[in-house]
């Protein structure tokens, strides 16, 4: 009966196994990205050159292939690949500390890029995907152990001890990538990892007797940091904070107070968005100069060119995309998938809220790109890989191992998984 169900599913059109709502949202956001980058780089900065627009189209093509590949990976293959991906990600994070691009480090203040020929790779972006599936791997292990030990029958103290050990475990697995990213001087990406960590904790099944005190402690630490920023910056300097980070906070609090220096970017972004009005000025019509408006500050370009309506359309697309991702998680009824989706949702949500928030002056500047819209290679590939993870849930639903094992992508990843002994992975995790 189960085999007949799988056969019926395979006979359906391929599109019936793909979440069309997510695909349409991604395609529309890609269109917004390409049009906006064309408007900025061709019509304003570099008339006669399509190079950056063509590069963005090429990155979308590579990203689409990457998403299609990941989409074919079933739950078990992803589960066993998680430690491998995590290990490879850590290796890349170590390498970037040694071979980082010196010129980009001077320009951006972070040691986050490795340059290979004409391309710049940001390993911390790729690590986001590896971290997400690794957290899902650990949550699945926690749920399996809980069922084996009868967690539902434990008294409060036993449950707190059991969940406390798991919280410590995933914290220890979070520290290496976060520490390496902090060493790169990249606060924005560090915050993204913390948000993904929080998202996974919420859906992991950990008791609120642990979650509530943990988040109250987090809130107290955040409040103390705010007080220190205002009244005692010397202590934060001693902890490793940099001048440019304080400059971003100062420009956020008073964007027009020093528009010739640190606050210039935010002040210009606010002017550009405000000047767009309801309908915008039209494609390529710029009156306000905004630095890096094709990447980190691309929302200011959308606001100036397409106005409030265009900006609202982009926000609506993101809302639909996030809502559909959450719907996929609810339909899955699986700890591994729920944790994976939660990590992706938190990553996208933080990027969207922070990027738009910093563009309109609600949040400090952090250099975080707008997902699927900002110009850039590694960040775009990371977003598309994450989309592939979400699409894989519905795509592989109901397919048996006989059919999956014939898939060349699945066969390749399973071969990689077998290179590392499972008993070694079990000991480490």
DSSP state of 151: G
Helix/strand/coil for 112: coil
Residue 29 and residue 314 in contact, taking contact as beta carbons nearer than 8 Å: yes
Residues with Cβ < 8 Å from 405, sequence gap 6 or more?
411, 414
Q: 406: which 2 tokens?
A: 């014939």
Res 2: pLDDT: 46
Q: Give the separation between CA 380 and CA 373, rounded to whole angstroms.
A: 8
What are phi and psi for residue 387, nearest 5 degrees? -60, -40
Beta-carbon contacts of residue 114 (< 8 Å; ≥ 6 apart): 95, 96, 99, 100, 101, 120, 121, 122, 123
**For residue 68, how many other CB atoms are within 10 A of its CB?**
15
Quick one: DSSP state of residue 116? E
- How many CB atoms neighbour CB 169 within 10 A? 14
Q: Report which of 174, 84, 170, 181 is spatially closest to residue 124, judged by C-alpha positions.
A: 181
Q: For residues 322 and 386, is the Cβ–Cβ distance under 8 A?
A: no
The DSSP line for 206-275 is --HHHHHHHHHHHHHHHHHHHHHHHH-HHHHHHTT--HHHHHHHHHHH-TTSSTTTTTHHHHHHHHHHHH
Task: At 157, give phi and psi (nearest 5°).
Answer: -65, -40
Please state the φ and ψ torsions of residue 114, each to the nearest 5 degrees. -110, 130
User: CB of 105 within 8 A of CB of 74?
Assistant: no
Given a contact cutoff of 8 angstroms between Cβ atoms, the answer to whether 357 and 37 are in contact is no
CA-wise closest residue to 294 among 19, 53, 50, 1? 53
Look at residue 236 in the predicted model and tell me its pLDDT.
Answer: 78
pLDDT at 1: 43
Give CA–CA dist 99/97, Å, rounded.
Answer: 6
Task: Decide if 369 contacts 379 (C-beta within 8 A).
Answer: yes
Q: What does the pLDDT read at residue 56?
A: 93
Residues 228-258 as b or e (16 or more Cβ within 10 Å = b): ebeeeeeeeeeeebeeebbbbbbbbeebeee
Decide: 265 and 297 in contact? Cβ < 8 Å: yes
Question: Across the 429 residues of the chain, what is the mean pLDDT of every consecutive 10-residue run?
Answer: 49 73 97 93 63 91 96 93 95 89 70 79 94 96 89 84 92 96 89 94 89 87 82 78 74 67 78 90 81 87 94 97 92 89 96 94 87 92 97 84 76 82 73
Residue with tokens 């979308």: 60
Q: What's the CA gap between 285 and 305, in Å, rounded?
A: 6
346: nearest Cα among 325, 328, 365: 325
DSSP 19-30: -HHHHHHHHHHH
The tally of CA atoms less than 13 A away on the side-chain side of residue 134 is: 29
Distances (CA, A) of 300 to 60, 224, 361, 383: 22, 32, 11, 21
Count Cβ atoms below 10 Å from residue 329 Cβ, excluding itself: 20
What is the 8-class DSSP label of residue 15?
Answer: G
């Amino acid at each position: 009966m189960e085999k007949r169900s799988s056969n019926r599913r395979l006979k359906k059109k391929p599109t019936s196994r793909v979440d069309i709502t997510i695909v349409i949202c991604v395609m529309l956001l890609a269109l917004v990205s390409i049009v906006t980058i064309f408007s900025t780089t061709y019509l304003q900065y570099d008339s006669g050159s399509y190079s950056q627009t063509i590069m963005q189209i090429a990155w979308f093509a590579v990203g689409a292939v990457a998403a299609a590949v990941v989409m074919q990976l079933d739950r078990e293959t992803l589960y066993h690949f998680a430690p491998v991906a995590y290990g490879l990600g850590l290796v890349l994070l170590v390498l970037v500390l040694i071979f980082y691009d010196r010129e980009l480090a001077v320009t951006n203040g972070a040691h986050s890029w490795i340059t290979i020929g004409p391309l710049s790779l940001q390993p911390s972006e790729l690590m986001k995907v590896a971290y997400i599936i690794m957290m899902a791997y650990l949550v699945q292990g926690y749920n399996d152990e809980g069922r084996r030990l009868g967690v539902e029958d434990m008294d409060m103290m036993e449950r707190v001890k059991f969940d406390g050990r798991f919280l410590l475990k995933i914290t220890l697995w979070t520290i290496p990538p976060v520490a390496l990213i902090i060493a790169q001087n990249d606060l924005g990406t560090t915050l993204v990892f913390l948000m993904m960590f929080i998202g996974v904790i919420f859906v992991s099944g950990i008791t609120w007797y642990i979650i509530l005190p943990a988040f109250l402690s987090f809130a107290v630490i955040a409040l103390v940091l705010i007080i220190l920023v205002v009244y005692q910056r010397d202590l934060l300097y001693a902890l490793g904070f940099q001048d440019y980070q304080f400059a971003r906070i100062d420009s956020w609090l008073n964007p027009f107070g020093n528009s010739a220096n640190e606050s210039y970017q935010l002040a210009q972004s606010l002017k550009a968005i405000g000047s767009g009005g309801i309908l915008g000025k039209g494609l390529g019509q710029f009156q306000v100069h905004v630095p890096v408006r094709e990447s980190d500050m691309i929302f200011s370009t959308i606001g100036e060119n397409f106005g409030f309506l265009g900006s609202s359309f982009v926000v609506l697309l993101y809302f639909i995309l996030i809502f559909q991702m959450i719907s996929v998680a609810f339909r899955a009824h699986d700890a591994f998938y729920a944790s994976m989706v939660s990590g992706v949702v938190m990553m996208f949500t933080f990027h969207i809220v922070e990027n738009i928030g910093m563009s309109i002056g609600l949040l400090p500047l952090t250099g975080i790109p707008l997902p699927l819209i900002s110009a850039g290679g590694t960040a775009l590939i990371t977003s598309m890989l994450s989309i592939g993870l979400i699409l894989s849930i519905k795509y592989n639903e109901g397919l048996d191992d006989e059919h999956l094992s014939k898939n060349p992508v699945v066969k390749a990843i399973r071969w990689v998984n077998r290179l590392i002994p499972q008993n070694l992975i079990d000991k480490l995790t």
